[in-house]
Amino acid sequence: MNGGPRTATVRTLDQGPVTVPCPSWCLGVHEDGLDLVDLAHEGPETVLTVDVPHGPVQLLDAGLCQYPYSSDPDDRGVQVAVLLGTGWHRLDHDALRMLAAQLVVHAGRLRDLAAELLNAEGAL
């Protein structure tokens, strides 16, 4: 294996086979059969898994992503894709930090609810 940049060849609808450089964090798996503007580099995902009475549930899948050939120049930089609700949202550094801060606040609210629940159960 040489020490040069990693590349991947992707079969696109509009450009045919295209060899693209991959960032170091990219998993190297790219979907064939899309237009070049839709080509995405994706990194490993991190997932929050919570245990509930009926088994584990995945929340907040997130990972680095980049659409280097996007028709929207704002989408060409590296972002983090986060699964929120039923859709993926691409966040930049500031938006991701804001999401993290909101999650910290929400975690505090959940702790408060746990205390209320304990008090409510004790009042029965």
CB count in 10 Å sphere of residue 82: 20
* 63 pLDDT higher than 80: yes
**CA angle, corner 17, sides to 15 and 18, nearest 5?**
80
Q: What is the pLDDT of residue 122?
A: 77
Q: Hey, is 55 helix, strand or coil?
A: strand
Total-model pTM: 0.84
Mean pLDDT within 5-33: 95
Mean pLDDT within 26-50: 96
Alpha-carbon distance of 87 to 100, in angstroms, equals 18
* 1 pLDDT higher than 60: no
Q: Taking the alpha carbons of 81, 83, 20, 22 in that order, is the dihedral positive or negative?
A: positive
